[in-house]
């Protein structure tokens, strides 16, 4: 499907620094308390803008994964398939808006209904860009505010193979569910070959050897190998409000 730089409802295919953002764009010095206060206002503005942005959507599923996986690779294709399956079933696909798995998921969603392909982007000097399949987006200066918005109202979290960022997002969501700060909802890891060694380490080292987690905590993670298997867990999820 041919994609254009603009549509009537949103902006896409733009560098992250051109995505709509809160008004405090200038660099802020922390030499004075007044400067720190302005930094706090900037953080607050990102949360307000982010939650307002989310309020227009329902039945969201957030997909995480590496920005480095290229088109044509196994997990890129599977993420694209999952994005399409989700939208066909009435869900909205939310990603970090960048390349790799994020692009693949948005691409699949866009192929079915462009209005259900959402990106929550991060502003970086060069690395991150908004992928061409995002039709509604919001850019963030801070990683932590972006992460909150990515997670805030999703009814399922899907994790494809990824690096430190994907792992960080996974463990934070598991911690929030484990400590009952958010409701229990499906956490699905796609890619048995990639995720099984990590789960084995958690089981043998964290659970059995050091007993730093409960055996029941492992039940929070569901490992699958295909988009169709992931959908079985997603279909069991319930729509929720923000946190």
Question: What CATH number should be reported for the domain holding residue 86?
Answer: 3.40.50.450
Query: How far is the CA of 153 from the CAs of 38, 40, 67, 118, 207, in angstroms?
Result: 28, 23, 23, 13, 30
Residue 6: inside a domain: no
Residue 9: inside a domain: no
The whole model's pTM is what?
A: 0.87
The parent domain of residue 62 ranges over 16-234
Task: Say what the pLDDT of residue 37 is.
Answer: 84
Task: Say what the pLDDT of residue 2 is.
Answer: 45
Task: Say what the pLDDT of residue 18 is.
Answer: 54
**CB half-sphere exposure, 37, CA atoms < 13 A:** 3
**CB half-sphere exposure, 213, CA atoms < 13 A:** 19
Count up the domains in the chain and report the number.
1
Residue 8: inside a domain: no
Residue 136: strand pairing partners: 118
Residue 7: inside a domain: no
Task: Say what the pLDDT of residue 39 is.
Answer: 85
User: Mean pLDDT per segment of 10 residues, for the chain of length 243 residues?
Assistant: 44 47 53 77 93 95 97 98 98 97 98 98 73 95 94 96 97 96 95 98 98 96 98 94 71
Strand runs (DSSP E) across 60-182, as ranges?
Answer: 60-64, 92-95, 117-122, 136-140, 157-159
Task: Say what the pLDDT of residue 224 is.
Answer: 98
């Amino acid at each position: 499907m041919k994609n254009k730089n603009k549509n009537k409802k949103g902006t896409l295919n733009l560098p992250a620094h051109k995505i709509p953002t809160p008004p405090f764009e200038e660099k802020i010095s922390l030499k004075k308390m007044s400067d720190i206060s302005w930094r706090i206002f900037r953080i607050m503005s990102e949360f307000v803008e982010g939650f307002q942005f989310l309020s227009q959507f329902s039945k969201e599923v957030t997909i995480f994964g590496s920005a480095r996986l290229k088109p044509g690779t196994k997990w890129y294709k599977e993420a694209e398939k999952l994005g399409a399956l989700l939208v066909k079933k009435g869900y909205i696909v939310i990603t970090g808006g960048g390349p790799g798995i994020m692009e693949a998921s948005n691409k699949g969603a866009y192929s079915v209904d462009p209005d259900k392909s959402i990106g929550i982007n991060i502003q970086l000097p060069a690395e991150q860009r908004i992928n061409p399949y995002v039709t509604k987006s919001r850019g963030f200066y801070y990683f932590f505010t972006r992460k909150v918005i990515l997670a805030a109202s999703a009814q399922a979290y899907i994790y494809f193979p990824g690096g430190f960022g994907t792992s960080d997002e996974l463990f934070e969501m598991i911690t929030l569910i484990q400590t009952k700060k958010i409701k229990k909802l499906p956490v699905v890891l796609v890619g048995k070959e990639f995720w099984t060694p990590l789960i084995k380490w958690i089981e043998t080292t964290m659970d059995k050897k050091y007993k730093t987690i409960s055996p029941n905590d492992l039940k929070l993670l569901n490992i699958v190998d295909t988009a169709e298997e992931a959908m079985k867990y997603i279909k069991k999820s319930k729509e929720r409000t923000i946190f």
